[in-house]
């Protein structure tokens, strides 16, 4: 076994804004070639973390190394080796797709000979070849994200940071964007992606769940699902709120979560739990449709882990 090569290493990384500790003693390591997901709700500290790792913002405490360089002492070395797609990235709306790529090639000093081939490849890669003469402002949201990604890749970075690249994009474009990220991953690029969407976390090799500036857990998606205590029953009762209150109070039930018209009930033991649930609801005259055992999904794992922490 060869030693893992850590491309991103953070220790005790901390950043405060007045009273808010946006990032609070973050420890993190990402190996070369991973797709690493930073998952958390708004305000969790994802953007602040990424800015510090990209050497755009200094930490108040702690340190980080990216591609082997210290973010505070060697920011220029890092900037040459990484790509950063900000949450509010800016393309030039008046420039065409092609002109935007040329512009970024200039900024990153990509030579004349190299750039023609590279731009053609990136256009194909981002599925934008036939739109190369369209102004960026006239592209759909999903296409703008792909163009921003292509611009981020113009200098062939070894690590790319993407801050919520699919937020606000329709589901089909989101999937396509992730297909493109997967292709990059297969080429060996290290990807560090933040997202508020739990389903996207499933496409990462490892994820860190971030909440209030801290990493609650960092592991593979599978392991995180496995951390959720108990077994999960899913049911659709006709009186959702009554059923939820009632079940919460049962000793066999660990936790109840509401999803639309569904209840997700974590029980310690499937048979005893199911029996207790059926009896309690039956006695209260609550009718149940579709009671079944199911596998916890990412959002259930996440909510459950945060709740347990707050207890
Ligand atoms: N420049 C800033 N000035 C003051 N507070 C900030 C600043 N940037 C972020 N914060 C605060 O830090 C916390 C984390 O923000 P952020 O890193 O943007 O989280 P996320 O990207 O996960 O939504 C939030 O409470 C936010 O209000
Ligand atoms: Mg953010």
Tell me: do 56 and 136 sit in the same domain: yes
pLDDT digits (tens, 9 = 90+) for 160-190: 999 999 988 888 889 999 999 999 999 999 9
Tell me: do 71 and 18 sit in the same domain: yes
Tell me: do 233 and 156 sit in the same domain: no
Q: For residue 298, give the nearest of 235, 228, 245 by alpha carbon.
A: 228
Q: For residue 15, give the nearest of 69, 54, 63 by alpha carbon.
A: 63
DSSP output for 152-165 = HTTT--SEEEEEST
Please compute the mean of the pLDDT values over residues 11-38 and round it to a whole number.
96
Q: Which residues surround ligand 2, an ion (CB under 5 A)?
A: 46-47, 87
Tell me: do 147 and 206 sit in the same domain: yes
Structure confidence at residue 311 as a pLDDT band (50, 70, 90): low
Structure confidence at residue 14 as a pLDDT band (50, 70, 90): very high
| CATH number, domain with residue 47 | 3.40.50.300
Q: Which of 1-5, 25-29, 169-173 has the lowest mean pLDDT?
A: 1-5
Structure confidence at residue 12 as a pLDDT band (50, 70, 90): very high
Tell me: do 159 and 271 sit in the same domain: no
Tell me: do 200 and 166 sit in the same domain: yes
Domain that holds residue 169: 6-220
- Could you give the maximum distance between any two Cα atoms of the chain, in Å? 78
| CATH number, domain with residue 245 | 3.30.70.100
Angstrom distance (rounded) from CA 160 to CA 121? 18
Helix 97-107 to helix 112-125 angle (10° resolution) is 130
285 belongs to a structural domain? yes
The position carrying tokens 């592991």 is 219
The CB of 22 under 6 Å from ligand 1? The reply is: yes
The CB of 42 under 6 Å from ligand 1? The reply is: yes
Angstrom distance (rounded) from CA 259 to CA 302? 14
Angstrom distance (rounded) from CA 188 to CA 205? 13
Q: Which of 45-59, 118-132, 237-251, 257-271 has the lowest mean pLDDT?
A: 257-271
Residue 201 has pLDDT above 90, yes or no: no
Which has more pLDDT, 254 or 302?
254
Structure confidence at residue 4 as a pLDDT band (50, 70, 90): confident
Which residue among 201, 220, 239 closes a domain?
Answer: 220
Ligand 1 atom 2, closest CA = 17
Which residue among 177, 197, 220 closes a domain?
Answer: 220
Residue 137 has pLDDT above 90, yes or no: yes
Tell me: do 25 and 150 sit in the same domain: yes
Which residue among 185, 220, 255 closes a domain?
Answer: 220
302 belongs to a structural domain? no
pLDDT digits (tens, 9 = 90+) for 240-299: 999 999 999 999 998 898 888 889 998 988 999 999 999 999 999 999 988 999 877 777
Tell me: do 77 and 179 sit in the same domain: yes
Ligand nearest to the Cα of 43, by number: 1
Output helix, strand, coil percentages for the chain, rounded to the nearest 5.
40, 30, 30
The CB of 7 under 6 Å from ligand 1? The reply is: no
And the tokens for 219? 């592991």
1 belongs to a structural domain? no
Ligand 1 atom 11, closest CA = 22
Asked whether 250 and 220 are in contact (CB, 8 A), the reply is no
Ligand 2: centre distance to CA 50 (Å): 9
Three-class secondary structure of residue 55 per DSSP: coil
Structure confidence at residue 309 as a pLDDT band (50, 70, 90): confident
Ligand nearest to the Cα of 41, by number: 1
The CB of 39 under 6 Å from ligand 1? The reply is: no
- Average pLDDT along the chain: 92
Angstrom distance (rounded) from CA 277 to CA 266? 11
Angstrom distance (rounded) from CA 22 to CA 214? 9
Ligand 1 atom 8, closest CA = 48
Angstrom distance (rounded) from CA 264 to CA 236? 9
Ligand nearest to the Cα of 20, by number: 1
308 belongs to a structural domain? no
Angstrom distance (rounded) from CA 148 to CA 8? 23
Please compute the mean of the pLDDT values over residues 40-47 and round it to a whole number.
92
Which has more pLDDT, 302 or 77?
77
Angstrom distance (rounded) from CA 257 to CA 276? 17
Asked whether 78 and 67 are in contact (CB, 8 A), the reply is yes
Other CB atoms within 10 A of residue 267 CB? 25
Tell me: do 194 and 268 sit in the same domain: no
Tell me: do 100 and 236 sit in the same domain: no
Tell me: do 164 and 256 sit in the same domain: no
The CB of 19 under 6 Å from ligand 1? The reply is: no
* Residue count of the chain: 311
- The separation between CA 71 and the C-alpha centre of its own chain, rounded to angstroms, equals 22
Which has more pLDDT, 252 or 89?
252
Which residues, including other chains, have CB under 8 Å from residue 182's CB and lie 6 or more apart? 35, 203
Q: Which atom of ligand 1 is nearest to the CA of 41?
A: 22
Residue 2 has a pLDDT of 59
Q: For residue 198, give the nearest of 236, 228, 234, 224 by alpha carbon.
A: 224
Please compute the mean of the pLDDT values over residues 99-117 and round it to a whole number.
93
Please compute the mean of the pLDDT values over residues 92-121 and round it to a whole number.
94
Total number of domains constituting the chain = 2
Tell me: do 136 and 55 sit in the same domain: yes
249 belongs to a structural domain? yes
Please report the beta strands in 58-120, taking only residues with DSSP state E, as ranges in sequence order. 61-66, 69-70, 82-85
Q: Which atom of ligand 1 is nearest to the CA of 87?
A: 21
Asked whether 263 and 236 are in contact (CB, 8 A), the reply is yes
Ligand 1 atom 25, closest CA = 43
Residue 16 has a pLDDT of 97
Ligand 1 atom 17, closest CA = 45
């Amino acid at each position: 076994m060869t030693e893992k090569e850590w491309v991103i290493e953070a220790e005790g990384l901390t950043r405060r804004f007045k009273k808010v500790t946006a990032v609070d003693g973050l420890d993190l390591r990402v190996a070369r070639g991973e797709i690493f997901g930073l998952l958390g709700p708004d305000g969790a500290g994802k953007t602040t973390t990424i800015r510090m790792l990209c050497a755009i913002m200094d930490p108040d405490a702690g340190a980080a190394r990216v591609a082997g360089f210290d973010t505070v002492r060697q920011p220029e070395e890092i900037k040459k080796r990484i790509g950063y797609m900000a949450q509010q990235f800016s393309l030039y709306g008046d420039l065409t797709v092609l002109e935007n790529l040329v512009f970024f090639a200039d900024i990153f000093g990509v030579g004349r000979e190299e750039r023609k081939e590279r731009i053609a490849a990136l256009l194909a890669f981002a599925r934008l070849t036939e739109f190369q003469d369209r102004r960026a402002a006239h592209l759909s949201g999903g296409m703008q994200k792909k163009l921003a990604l292509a611009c981020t890749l113009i200098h062939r970075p070894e690590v790319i940071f993407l801050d919520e690249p699919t937020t606000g994009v329709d589901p089909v474009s989101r999937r396509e964007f992730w297909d493109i990220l997967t292709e990059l991953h297969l080429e060996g690029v290290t990807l560090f992606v933040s997202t508020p969407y739990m389903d996207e976390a499933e496409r990462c090799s490892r994820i860190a769940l971030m909440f209030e500036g801290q990493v609650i857990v960092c592991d593979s998606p599978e392991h995180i699902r496995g951390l959720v205590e108990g077994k999960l029953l899913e049911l659709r009762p006709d009186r959702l709120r009554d059923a939820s209150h009632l079940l919460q109070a049962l000793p066999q039930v660990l936790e109840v979560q509401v999803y639309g018209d569904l209840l997700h009930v974590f029980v310690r033991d499937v048979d005893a739990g199911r029996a207790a649930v059926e009896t309690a609801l039956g006695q209260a005259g609550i009718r149940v449709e579709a009671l079944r055992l199911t596998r916890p999904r990412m959002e259930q794992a996440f909510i459950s882990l945060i709740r347990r922490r707050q207890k």
